[in-house]
Homo-oligomer: A and B are copies of this chain.
Amino acid sequence: MYKSGFQAASLDNILSNANVTKGALYHHFGSKQELGYAVVDELIREHILNRWVRSLEKAENPIDGLLAILRAKEPHPGFDQRLGCPLNNLAQEMSPLDEGFRKRLEGVFREWRQGIAKALRRGQERGQVRSDVDPLESADFFIAALEGSLSLAKNAQDTDVFDNCKAGLASYLKGLRTPGSS
């Protein structure tokens, strides 16, 4: 139940949905908190790395790569558009309350950011990305704008808002290209 948030999702609910009993859970995890940490480390982090970092390492052009991920933003199991981004959801909820969560989630954000920045830097070396672009700054802004777009879309339930935001994101990315390169 990553619809109602971590705190509001009761263990009994989680357990019955997963067809697991409480004994089994507490045999593997010491507390609900530990379970949450494992979800961050093994599910959310893996998803971000797969989708944004590893995929960009193979891309020939970072900007085309980012645009492609953006376009394909729908079809991923368990990542419903109307429920927002699990990484940001958890971060918003738990960061002010639990330093362990905050540190883990911050780490994921940092890996994400570094992955994009690295790809942009490679793009600069290849002459695909404008040389006056600060890769880290652009990565931060891109992630912020994307997460914000997902947040608004989650709230609005209206595709218009998200389409507008996606258009804005796409044109931001295109503005990073070296002028005249496609």
Contact = CB atoms under 8 A, between A and B. Distances in A.
Nearest to A139: B164
B102 A92 contact: no
Interface string A70-94: 0000000000001110001101110
A89 B5 CA distance: 12
A166 to B, nearest CB: 9
A96 B96 CA distance: 21
Given A157-B102, A164-B136, A93 B5 contact: yes
A141 B168 contact: yes
Contact of A151 (B91, B134, B136): B91
Interface string A141-182: 101111111011011110001001101110010010000000
Contacts of A3: 96-97
A89 to B, nearest CB: 6
A138 interface: yes
Contact of A168 (B82, B89, B140, B152): B140
A130 to B, nearest CB: 13
B137 A168 contact: yes
A136 to B, nearest CB: 7
A92 B148 CA distance: 11
Contacts of A95: 154-155
Interface string A114-132: 0000000000000000000
A170 B8 CA distance: 37
